[in-house]
């Protein structure tokens, strides 16, 4: 009898606690932290696309420099760090496995291969709309007090870093003369294949080879023979 009385006494707080716990669990679940627990390997995204009008068996050779292009916002440079040499070697290996032949630097080839390390960085400023102005226009402003930057200014920086592998059609390129407009679309080199490798850990030497292998594995149309 006595125990049932106690349990009755505690029933209501217990129910409230269970409810609060349930709500707590529920509210901590949200879109913003949905991918916080992704492993680096699971975070990797391989995006491939190609020109549907192209028959890739018409190409037999490819030209691939030993360095990669570093694209930093609108600036371009070349780099040949160990990890970059590794990705170039792996791309060459995959293309060779598909039946294409790499030509020496400077020799003409059917395909131009560009490996780019994209390193874009964007900086912006935002204001916190919920920060109160408080005494922003309070007494004393303009009477010899120095201005200060309110704390509700927030700076954000977005870094977008990924690998890009492109195949360019050199075989069917337009023969340029001094009078051709190099910027006209029909006179530009045509990108017929592109792969973007994104995610965490993509600049680690341990993960490079698998990324490239997987990207080519989902691009079955890349082969020198039908």
Which residues would be at the binding site for other proteins (CB under 8 A)?
12, 15-16, 19, 22-23, 25-27, 29-31, 34-35, 38, 42-50, 52, 198-200, 214-215, 218-219
For 111, phi then psi, to 5°, come to -120, 140
Our CB check for other proteins shows the closer of 25 and 206 to be 25
Which residue number, 53 or 186, has a Cβ lying nearer to other proteins? Answer: 53
Which residues lie below 8 Å from residue 123, measured CB to CB, with a gap of 6+?
A: 155, 156, 157, 158
Q: Which residues contact 33 (CB under 8 A, 6 or more apart)?
A: none
* Least distance in angstroms from the C-beta of 155 to other proteins: 22
- In the bound state with other proteins, the residue whose beta carbon lies nearer, of 11 and 121, is 11
Q: Are 69 and 114 in contact (CB under 8 A)?
A: yes
Q: Shortest Cβ distance from residue 78 to other proteins (Å)? A: 27
Q: Which is nearer to other proteins, 172 or 218 (CB)?
A: 218
For the bound state, the minimum distance from the C-beta of residue 32 to other proteins, rounded and expressed in Å, comes to 9
Question: Strand, coil or helix: what is 108?
Answer: coil
- Least spacing, CB of residue 46 vs other proteins, in Å: 4
Q: Are 135 and 164 in contact (CB under 8 A)?
A: no
- Alpha carbons 199 and 209: distance in angstroms, whole number: 15
Q: Which is nearer to other proteins, 153 or 221 (CB)?
A: 221
> What are 218's two structure tokens?
């989902």
Helices 205-217 and 82-97, interaxial angle, to 10°? 30
* Closer CB to other proteins, 5 or 107, in the complex: 5
How far apart (Å, rounded) are the C-alpha atoms in residues 158 and 156?
7
- Closest separation between CB of residue 100 and other proteins, Å? 20
CB of 146 to other proteins, least distance (A): 42
Phi, psi for residue 23 in degrees, rounded to 5: -65, -40
In whole angstroms, give the CA distance from residue 116 to residue 165: 6
């Amino acid at each position: 009898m006595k125990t049932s009385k106690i349990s009755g006494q505690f029933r209501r707080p217990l129910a409230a606690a269970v409810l609060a716990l349930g709500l707590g669990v529920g509210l901590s679940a949200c879109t913003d932290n949905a991918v916080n627990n992704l492993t680096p390997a699971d975070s990797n995204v391989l995006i491939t696309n190609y020109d549907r009008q192209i028959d890739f068996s018409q190409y037999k050779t490819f030209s691939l420099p030993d360095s990669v292009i570093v694209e930093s916002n609108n600036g371009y440079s070349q780099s040949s760090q160990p990890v970059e040499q590794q990705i170039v070697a792996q791309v060459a290996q995959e293309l060779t496995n598909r039946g294409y032949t790499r030509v020496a630097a400077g020799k003409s080839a059917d395909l131009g291969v560009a490996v780019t390390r994209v390193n874009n960085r964007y900086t912006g400023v935002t204001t916190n709309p919920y920060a109160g102005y408080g005494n922003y226009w309070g007494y004393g402003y303009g009477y010899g007090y120095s201005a200060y930057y309110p704390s509700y200014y927030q700076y954000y920086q977005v870094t977008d870093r990924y690998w890009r592998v492109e195949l360019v059609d050199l075989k069917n390129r337009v023969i340029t003369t001094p009078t051709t407009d190099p910027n006209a679309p029909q006179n530009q080199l045509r990108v017929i294949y592109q792969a973007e490798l994104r995610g965490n850990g993509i600049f680690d030497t341990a993960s490079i080879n698998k990324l490239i292998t997987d990207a080519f594995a989902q691009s079955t149309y890349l082969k020198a023979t039908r």
